[in-house]
Amino acid sequence: MKNLRIAFLMMIVLLVTVQPAFMQDVIVATPGQEVNMLLLPKALGNAVFDQAHEGAQEAHAELENPGELIFNAPTEASAPGQIEIIEAAITQGVDGIMISANDYEQLLPSTQRALEAGSTVVTWDSPVDPSGEQVFIAQVDFSETGTVMADMALRILGEDGGQFAILSATPDASNQNAWIAAMQEVLESDPQYANLELVAIVYGNDDPDDSYNEALGLIDSYPDLGLIMAPTTVGIAAAAKAMQDEGLCGTVAVSGLGLPLEMQEFVENGCAQEFALWSFKDLGYLTYYVTYLLETGAMEAEAGVTFEAGRMGTYTIEEDPTREGALRVLMGPFSVYNADNFEEWAVDLEATPEAGS
């Protein structure tokens, strides 16, 4: 009996001292700490980044941070514009810098300087090289994005396939480039996509006019084009508009990554067939939580660390399987939108009150 009791006590001691990974503490933020934050998307004037801002504002209020939440970006999606803003943030002593990067390499000297100055640098949506960030908040798995786009292309063009082109954002955007590479990889390695012929990759710089003109250029250059695949919310909406204006809806399909609110009219009138996305509001919220936890010293940027991100629940920092030497927090999931599930995602635009009213 005595031996049994000793064994039982030893078990308890063991459980308390050697916690297995699944029992590790979940780090929870302490609200009310003053940290000044900067949310820096690729550019201003892009609805998805406004949604990310809303999510960050929600977290900022919830965490009762008496510091500032600055939302700033260049007017055009460019690396030099972002560099200027990061440099100003270093001078002002901003504590937490949250970046969706226009370039994988070019921002590095500035983000590294910010890290050396003691700021927390977290990337979201579009990362920089791991040497210039602490952790990347990945909206979805970047390799999976390739398969999601290939599957949409296959469903739209059918087994017989056909020609398609990619209309991307800026040529150096690390997220779009990773997704395009992932798509090319599945097209090459998986025989089910053998009939999908990628004829061109063009760049509309996440600018509605540039993207519109690039879409027109594609249909001029490739008379047999069956599909424009745009892994950018700006590009896909501009391409659908171009096909609408040219009377080509149904002849040249449009797909990619789109914002439901911007795409629903084009799905309704047959100018865009199917697209996917994730919640940018949640992405902004999660990014803010991670940055706050790191900057307030509650959490280290290390693989295996589990934390709570308010209403979104718990997440674990992990090694990024898509980028060597990088850490990520994986958000997800993808939502796929098309005419079949239109009722579930579309809103009554007529009944939608004007923003701000």
At position 295, the amino acid (one-letter code) is E
State the CB neighbour count (10 A cutoff) for residue 323.
Answer: 18
Place of tokens 């009722």: 343
CA angle, corner 137, sides to 347 and 327, nearest 5? 160
Distances (CA, A) of 318 to 134, 136, 300, 302, 331: 12, 10, 12, 7, 12
Stretch that binds ligand RAM, among 42-50, 150-158, 196-204, 333-341 (CB under 6 A): 42-50
Contacts with ligand RAM, 125-154, as mask; x by CB under 6 A: xx----------------------------
The least distance separating ligand RAM from the CB of residue 203, rounded to whole angstroms, comes to 11
Angle at 273 between CA 147 and CA 144, to 5 degrees: 15
Burial of 236 (0-12, 13-18, 19+ CB in 10 A): buried
Least distance CB 227 / ligand RAM (angstroms): 17
Using the rule CB under 6 A, is 183 a contact of ligand RAM? no
Q: What angle do CA 88, 89, 92 make, to 5 degrees?
A: 90
Token pair of 335 as six digits:
């939502």
Q: Does 296 help bind ligand RAM (rule: CB under 6 A)? A: no
Site for ligand RAM (CB under 6 A): how many residues? 14
- The nearer residue to ligand RAM, 163 or 175, going by C-beta atoms, is 175
Residue among 103, 206, 210, 262 that touches ligand RAM (CB under 6 A): 206
Instruction: Show the site string, 220-249: x = touches ligand RAM by CB under 6 A, - = not.
Output: ------------xxx---------------
Q: Which is nearer to ligand RAM, 48 or 272 (CB)?
A: 48
Q: Which is nearer to ligand RAM, 164 or 278 (CB)?
A: 278
* CA atoms of 245 and 269, how far apart (whole Å): 12
Give Cβ neighbours of residue 245 (< 8 Å, ≥ 6 apart): none
Query: Among 35, 148, 169, 272, which residue sits at the site for ligand RAM (rule: CB under 6 A)?
Result: 169
Binding flag, residue 294, ligand RAM (CB under 6 A): no
Query: Which position among 175, 211, 264, 296 is part of the footprint of ligand RAM (CB under 6 A)?
Result: 175
Contacts of 208 (CB under 8 A, 6+ apart): 234, 237, 238
Here the tokens at position 280 are: 């940018």
* Rounded distance between C-alpha atoms, residue 40 and residue 302, angstroms: 23
| Nearest CB to ligand RAM, comparing residues 42 and 241 | 42
Secondary structure (H, E, C), 175-244: HHHHHHHHHHHHHHHCHHHCCEEEEEEEECCCCHHHHHHHHHHHHHHCCCEEEEEECCHHHHHHHHHHHH
- Contact residue for ligand RAM among 35, 36, 38, 42 (CB under 6 A): 42
Q: What residues numbered 46-85 form the site for ligand RAM, per CB under 6 A?
A: 46, 48
Nearer to ligand RAM among residue 215 and residue 293 (C-beta) = 215
**From the CB of 231, what's the least distance to ligand RAM, in Å?**
6
Q: Whole-angstrom Cα distance, residue 118 to residue 98?
A: 14
Residue numbers of the site for ligand RAM (CB under 6 A)? 42, 46, 48, 100, 125-126, 169, 173, 175, 206, 232-234, 257
